[in-house]
Amino acid sequence: MTSDNKKKIKAERPRGFEDLSGEDLLLLEKITSTIEKTYKFYGFEKLETSIVELSNVIGSFLPDQDRPNEGVFSFEDDDSRWLSLRYDLTSGLARYVAENYDALPKPYRRYQSGWVFRNEKPGPGRFRQFMQVDADTVGSKNPLADAEMCMMFSDVFENIGIERNDYLIRLNNRNLLDALLDQLGLNSINDSDQYLTVMRSIDKLDRLGFSGVTELLGKGRKDKSGDFTKGAELNTEQIDKIINFLKQGDKSQKTDRKSALEKLEKDFCDSDKFSDAVIELLAISDILDGAGYNEDRVAIDPSVVRGLGYYTGPVYEADLIFPKNNDLQNFGSVGGGGRYDSLVERLKGVKVPATGISIGVSRLMTALKILDQKVNNKSDIDVVVLLMNKDDQVYYFNLASKLRDEGLLADLYVGDGSMKAQLKYADKRNAKIALIIGDDEIENNTVTIKDLNKGAELSKDISKNEEWRSSKDTQVNVPQSEMIKMIKSILSKSS
């Protein structure tokens, strides 16, 4: 027995977290970059806020102020103040605006990407850490700000490569449902528990369907595991009214926005609150019409609820629907947002109107993987410089530096592998070109440039230098003075 006989620590990830590397990480970075670029084109500026916030700043998510680590990941600082990993990017924005309000342009338009953390039960495709990319306009009541959010949502999907009719931005106003519930005798203040149960039930529509929500609005529902969820205890008349209202957003309907809103007002409520909400949506719809964003991109859907106690007006949900793809049909929400005119007020003390959207990158990644959009997850490596002779390492390093000086992404092989291992490495990096400089090339001041567009096919059966050199149809030997020109020519043909 040695003194080092200690129990080996098992290498394992905590539940609900994931590692990203290789093509997955490249895909995440490219999606994030595309979204950010879309926001930037609309004139939004980038902001980075702290990954840790004071717990009372994100207090709307905390169930227990004395020990706020349910729902969020929290810890107590050495000055006895509770800190939390950010639950979303919006709370940090609200804090930043409240702190810097006088110095900021009005309205203030920012975008931000970053990891957020949820101390919730993990499940398939549901992680405790995930990437969000947000855009928000703070300080504007103008419906143009809300319409712009819907436009950016639409542009993001098409810029990523998701075709029109394979996605749908669903638009609603929280005040429509609130007005209907008021009419049915359900008030968010006087009947707060029942009201919240109703709203939470409606928020499960995508997962449970109309039958499941009907059960939750009534006595309750038992799931497949046998667990029973107590319902809102509404009567049949109340339930029927709510379900019929929600069905006006059925994705199979192709009603234009104006007609859909007129029908809602006629059939369901004639209160001032309902009418005001319809007027807001009509103003947004008029802007969308003028900009060419029709019902096939942005549709009215009264079933969109979002953020209990958070959103105060128009809300948006971005769904992938893929009607012609069985693997992705009704994939569901990959982002959402809405108007939240009270959030900054909690920190600033005055009303500051705001609206924004948030896109979940992990969900988008899953969809793109199923679509097998390999164009989005290829490496950006242009050239791998093979290490043919270890005695000439400085020579190879200087050659790779010359490539980088010309704007090429060059990877010098720094391992100890054989020719076969180096070719496999180049293939796994999805490199477009392999640069071969052996003794003959060094002596004659030339380079051998190998086109690797078919890297896997070219390298899988090659084990010897002689075999590699025999495949003349895919390589060319040129003087070093012509190396850059030849490489760029090959790259231009493969792009």
Q: Please name every residue paired with 318 in a beta bridge, in sequence order, or none if there are none.
A: 169, 335
Q: Which CATH class is domain 12-141+341-378?
A: alpha beta
Three-class SS of residue 46? strand
Q: How far is CA 439 from the centre of its chain?
A: 50
Amino acid identity of 260? Answer: A
Contact 397, 413 (CB under 8 A): no
Contact 376, 127 (CB under 8 A): no
Three-class SS of residue 228? strand
- What radius of gyration do the chain's Cα atoms show? 28
CATH number of 162-331: 3.30.930.10
Three-class SS of residue 61? helix
Strand-strand pairing, 45-46 and 108-117: parallel
Nearest CA to 436 among 422, 425, 424? 422
Q: Which two tokens stand for residue 278?
A: 């319809």
483-494 vs 393-405: helix crossing angle, rounded to 10: 60
pTM attached to this predicted model = 0.78
Q: Please name every residue paired with 383 in a beta bridge, in sequence order, or none if there are none.
A: 410, 433
DSSP track, 268-312: H--SHHHHHHHHHHHHHHHHHHHTT--TTTEEE-TT---STTT--
* Residue 341 φ/ψ region, left for φ over 0, alpha for ψ in the -120 to 50 degree band, beta for the rest: alpha
Could you tell me the residue ranges of all domains in the chain? 12-141+341-378, 162-331, 383-494
> In this structure, what are the phi and psi dihedrals at residue 324, rounded to the nearest 5 degrees?
-105, 10
Q: In the chain, what are the helix, strand and coil shares in percent, each to the nearest 5?
A: 45, 20, 40
**Residue with tokens 């009947």, as numbered in its chain:** 191
CA atoms of 423 and 459, how far apart (whole Å) = 6
Q: Could you tell me the CA-to-CA distances from 248 to 160, 170, 200, 213, 253 in Å, in that order?
A: 30, 12, 19, 15, 8
Asked if the domains at 12-141+341-378 and 383-494 fall in one CATH topology, the answer is: no
CATH superfamily of 383-494: Anticodon-binding domain (3.40.50.800)
Would you give per-residue pLDDT tens digits along the chain (495 residues)? 555 567 889 999 898 888 888 788 888 999 999 999 999 999 999 999 999 999 888 765 554 444 455 678 888 888 889 899 998 999 999 999 999 999 999 999 999 999 999 888 877 667 889 999 999 999 999 999 999 999 999 999 999 989 898 999 999 999 998 899 988 888 766 667 888 888 888 888 878 889 999 999 999 998 888 889 899 999 999 999 999 999 887 554 567 899 999 989 888 887 899 999 999 999 999 999 999 999 999 999 998 887 666 789 999 999 998 877 776 777 888 999 999 998 898 888 888 999 999 999 988 888 888 776 543 444 568 999 998 888 888 888 888 999 999 999 999 999 888 878 888 888 888 889 999 898 889 999 999 999 887 544 544 555 555 554 555 568 899 999 999 999 999 888 876
